[in-house]
Amino acid sequence: MLLYSWLTLLKKNRAIAVIRASEIELGRKMALAAAQGGMELIEITWNSPRSAELISQLRVQLPNCIIGTGTLMNPTQVKEAIMAGAQFLFAPHVDPLMIKAAKDSDLPIIPGALTPTEIITAWQWGATCVKVFPVQPVGGPNYIRSLQGPLGQIPLIPCGGITLENAEEFLAAGALAVGVGTQLFPKNLVASGNWKAITDKAAWLRKKLGQSSGGNSCANLSVNLPVNSPINLPMKSPVNSSANLHVNSPVNLQVQTPIVKS
């Protein structure tokens, strides 16, 4: 994916749904519920059970969403995530070998950093954007705002402590986009299978950030999820070969559309 393509997607969507699930089926339902609410950028944390399998499944079931992964810890995991079909990559730290592995596959890599020195180091090593994490303990939106003077040329994605209520404030402070996890997927709603409530939260967030879920192709291709309903979708082979990755690569997006052909 070209840098401009990724930045265009972030400017269009402004929020990434971050999913950390205790089991693969819960993760799948969480992703489908978020997509139904209009979320196009979906991150599956790599330390979730069977994350590679889930990423491959979602590439098939949500072909017009952009499915990525996060909490990657080393270059081996980066390569495994790429083989699973991940379309963007987040890490909680800065590792030049991980950045190189992602860039070699032409995929966005967003390492985590906190201090100005760490952020600049990540950018100089070739990060596509920089994840500011954890942002809330160091000042939240005010911290992002204070970074804009010296580091305004570096696209920042704050994570950790982002809520549906304060997400807009982070964007106003200068963030390109935000990552939203537990606030979008409250434990009580996930445990009770209240997928409609999660869908409603996703739609509300998009509306608050100036996006409409009504015409969202990712949502339109999702399934309706009534409370506590099982999901019975036909399963296809995971995207796991290098040949398939080339065909389904987000490079096909170019800059004019976020739709990924499967």
Select which of 12, 23, 40, 43 is catalytic. 43
Q: What is the residue-wise DSSP string for 42-62?
A: EEEETTSTTHHHHHHHHHHHS
Q: Is the peptide bond before 134 cis (omega within 30 degrees of 0)?
A: yes
Residue 167: which of 32, 56, 14 has the closest Cα?
14
- What's the sign of the alpha-carbon dihedral 168, 172, 173, 176? positive
Is 131 considered catalytic here? yes
C-alpha dist (Å) from residue 83 to 43, 102, 243: 16, 11, 10
Select which of 29, 40, 131, 201 is catalytic. 131
Residue 79 structure tokens: 């390569």
C-alpha dist (Å) from residue 94 to 55, 74, 91, 201, 261: 23, 10, 7, 32, 31
Q: Count the neighbouring beta carbons within 10 Å of the beta carbon of residue 67.
A: 30
Residue 225 per-residue DSSP state: -
For Cα atoms 247, 252, 254, give the angle at the middle one, nearest 5 degrees: 160
Residues annotated as catalytic are 43, 131
